[in-house]
């Protein structure tokens, strides 16, 4: 979720990159939150 800054930082530190964002994808406690799609390329 876009509001989970600590989680996003953890994934970025592990080498993941943001691939997309789904606007207002989740309704949590009456508030819409963006969903972040992340991926990591293994070579």
Q: Which domain holds residue 18?
A: 5-39
- The pTM of the full predicted model, rounded to 2 decimals, is 0.77
- Residues 1-43 have pLDDT tens digits of 999 999 999 999 999 999 999 999 999 999 999 999 999 998 8
Q: Where are the beta strands (DSSP E) in 1-43?
A: 17-28, 31-39
Q: What is the CA radius of gyration of the chain?
A: 12
- Say how many domains are in the chain: 1
pLDDT at 43: 81
Q: Which long-range contacts (CB under 8 A, 24 or more apart) does 27-34 make?
A: 28/1, 33/1, 33/2, 33/3, 34/1, 34/2
């Amino acid at each position: 979720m876009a509001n989970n800054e600590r989680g996003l930082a953890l994934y970025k530190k592990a080498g993941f990159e943001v691939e997309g964002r789904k606007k207002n994808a989740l309704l949590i406690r009456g508030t819409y939150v963006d969903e972040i799609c992340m991926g990591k390329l293994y070579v």
